[in-house]
Amino acid sequence: MTTLPDCRALDAKDPLKHLRDLFVLPEGLIYLDGNSLGVLPKTAAARVAHAVTQEWGNGLIRSWNTAGWFDMPQRLGNKVARLIGAAPGEVVATDSTTINLYKVLSAALNIAAQDAPQRKVVVSERSNFPTDLYIAESLCKERGYTLKLVEPEEIADALTADPAVLMLTHVNYRTGAMYDMKAVTAAAHVAGALTVWDLAHSAGAVPVDLNGSQADFSIGCGYKYLNGGPGAPAFVWVNPKHTERFWQPLAGWWGHAAPFEFTPDYSPAPGITRYLCGTQPILSMTALDCGLDTLLAAEPFGGMNALRTKSLALTDLFIELALRRCAGHGLGLATPREHARRGSQVCLTREHTAQGSGAFAIVQALIARGVIGDFRAGDGKLHKDILRFGFTPMYIGFEDVWNAVEHLRQVLETDEWQRPEFNQKHAVT
């Protein structure tokens, strides 16, 4: 049975503990929401201010050359590549996750239409992030395809002669359940389908090996575990065997082979660069650059493998403490206990009563105490309401886990969550 002194001892010998110093963390706050928005790197404010006052203020348009603005998508993409098992020159940082998904799913459907025109189905998980499903639904309606939604255990049976594309999020946003990317990709390929992987809850959180898994397409965001700030640019990766087969559906001048020749006809740039569209948000890219540097600072200590080891230890501890110390309060576990099937978050459920689950209000009560997680609504059927807690090992310690669970125990035992202010929903929940 793990105790508070045990947690302090684990923190004392943690080889990654000094990475916490890279971030701005308000005193007394336990931040378990890095899977929604990462913490501010200490370098970001000054670096962005420099980009505003010096690069923009003094350099003006010259900074496209002198400050390296123009090649930022590729330069930041190469940093992302080190975190997701991609090679240099295979990733660009650009646009939003949604836009990038539209690009790669369009590409996958184009290639499938050439290679297997009889295949008219896109398969995805029913509890995939809604934006991913919305984009897939839109493209399916436009192209005459069918979007088929299944539970995780049904994916193997869904890989029949019909699917053109299997589109999945590597780590589920609601449960934290993680797919075996290599095995699932191999199964899809045997069935004749291409794969599209969303790494929104993977990049910077768990080791990813896109090339080793022989994935086809992948996208991900920059504002969660990559600590790039709210609305940070996303990224896109395409297996090199596919890049030259795709005509960009959002063809823009930044994806042109010769953008400064200003020709009226579009000629796609070679490789991943063709996935760029228009002028990039330089100030946001600058902040993302700082966020990526926080991840790369872990490389001398073992990089993503070391972060993964600590992440699993943190989530193991949270599961142990929450289920033991909060027993009798209707909590359940939506996140797999198996390490190979778990991302870097823990999702608790709570049994429904006539008044509902109380999950939202419990999270709000915790936030008022300085323990920040978030809530995700269920469907009232198979998928329950979720109390979601993300564990970013760079700035979360073992004593943080103990204290977070202690606050949870108190909120439950005192019925603090039933106070009216904690049951008032806001625009963003």
379: domain CATH number?
3.90.1150.10
- Of 234, 269, 296, which residue constitutes the final position of a domain? 296
Q: Report residue 334: phi and psi, to 5°.
A: -90, -20
Q: Report residue 36: phi and psi, to 5°.
A: -110, -45
Look at residue 41 and tell me if it is in a domain.
no
User: How far is C-alpha 57 from the geometric centre of its chain's CA atoms?
Assistant: 33
Look at residue 306 and tell me if it is in a domain.
yes
Is the pLDDT assigned to residue 94 strictly greater than 90?
yes
**CA-CA distance, 97 to 103, in Å (whole number)?**
10
User: How far is C-alpha 370 from the geometric centre of its chain's CA atoms?
Assistant: 24
Is the pLDDT assigned to residue 429 strictly greater than 80?
no
The tens digit of pLDDT for each residue in 157-176 reads 999 999 999 999 999 999 99
Look at residue 30 and tell me if it is in a domain.
no
Whether this prediction's pTM lies above 0.85 is answered by yes
The tens digit of pLDDT for each residue in 44-59 reads 999 999 999 999 999 9
Closest among 214, 254, 321, 208 to 73, alpha carbons compared: 254
Task: Out of 102, 179, 217, 223, pick the active-site residue.
Answer: 223
The tens digit of pLDDT for each residue in 365-401 reads 999 999 999 999 887 677 789 999 999 999 999 999 9
**CA-CA distance, 42 to 32, in Å (whole number)?**
19
Question: What percentage of the chain reaches a pLDDT higher than 70?
Answer: 99
Task: Out of 129, 179, 235, 275, pick the active-site residue.
Answer: 129
Do 406 and 331 lie in one domain? The reply is yes
Confidence of residue 354 (pLDDT cuts 50, 70, 90): low
What local confidence, expressed as pLDDT, does residue 73 receive? Answer: 98
Do 163 and 94 lie in one domain? The reply is yes
* 240-244 mean pLDDT: 94
**CA-CA distance, 94 to 319, in Å (whole number)?**
36
What domain range includes position 373? 4-16+302-423
Do 222 and 280 lie in one domain? The reply is yes
Q: Which residues pair with 372 in a beta bridge?
A: 31
* Annotated catalytic residue 224: yes
212: domain CATH number?
3.40.640.10
Look at residue 23 and tell me if it is in a domain.
no
The tens digit of pLDDT for each residue in 65-83 reads 999 999 999 999 999 999 9
What local confidence, expressed as pLDDT, does residue 324 receive? Answer: 96
Position 15, amino acid: P
Quote the radius of gyration of the chain (alpha carbons, Å). 22
Domain total of the chain:
2
Taking the CA atoms of 278, 284, 287 and 292 in sequence, report the sign of the dihedral they define. negative
Do 230 and 306 lie in one domain? The reply is no
How buried is 226 (Cβ within 10 angstroms: 0-12 exposed, 13-18 middle, 19+ buried)? buried
Do 265 and 144 lie in one domain? The reply is yes
Look at residue 143 and tell me if it is in a domain.
yes
Distances (CA, A) of 218 to 86, 168, 312: 10, 10, 24
Q: Report residue 395: phi and psi, to 5°.
A: -130, 5
Do 216 and 308 lie in one domain? The reply is no
Look at residue 180 and tell me if it is in a domain.
yes
Q: Copy the structure tokens of residue 262.
A: 């200003």
Q: Which residues pair with 171 in a beta bridge?
A: 178
* Annotated catalytic residue 388: yes
Task: Out of 103, 224, 350, 384, pick the active-site residue.
Answer: 224
The SS3 assignment for 165 reads strand
Average pLDDT, the chain: 96
The tens digit of pLDDT for each residue in 96-136 reads 999 999 999 999 999 999 999 999 999 999 999 999 999 99
- Of 271, 296, 321, which residue constitutes the final position of a domain? 296
Cα 42-43-49 angle, rounded to 5 deg: 120
Task: Out of 95, 132, 162, 198, pick the active-site residue.
Answer: 198
Q: What is the helix (H) or strand (E) element at residue 124, kind and residue range?
A: strand 121-125
**CA-CA distance, 198 to 132, in Å (whole number)?**
8
Do 174 and 316 lie in one domain? The reply is no
Look at residue 27 and tell me if it is in a domain.
no
What local confidence, expressed as pLDDT, does residue 33 receive? Answer: 97
Contact at 8 Å (CB) between 311 and 205? yes
Task: Out of 388, 398, 400, 422, pick the active-site residue.
Answer: 388
Do 105 and 233 lie in one domain? The reply is yes
* Annotated catalytic residue 223: yes
Do 275 and 341 lie in one domain? The reply is no
Q: Report residue 369: phi and psi, to 5°.
A: -90, 0
- Of 281, 296, 311, which residue constitutes the final position of a domain? 296
What local confidence, expressed as pLDDT, does residue 428 receive? Answer: 83
Do 292 and 338 lie in one domain? The reply is no
What local confidence, expressed as pLDDT, does residue 49 receive? Answer: 98
Contact at 8 Å (CB) between 309 and 147? no
Is the pLDDT assigned to residue 352 strictly greater than 90?
no
* 244-264 mean pLDDT: 92
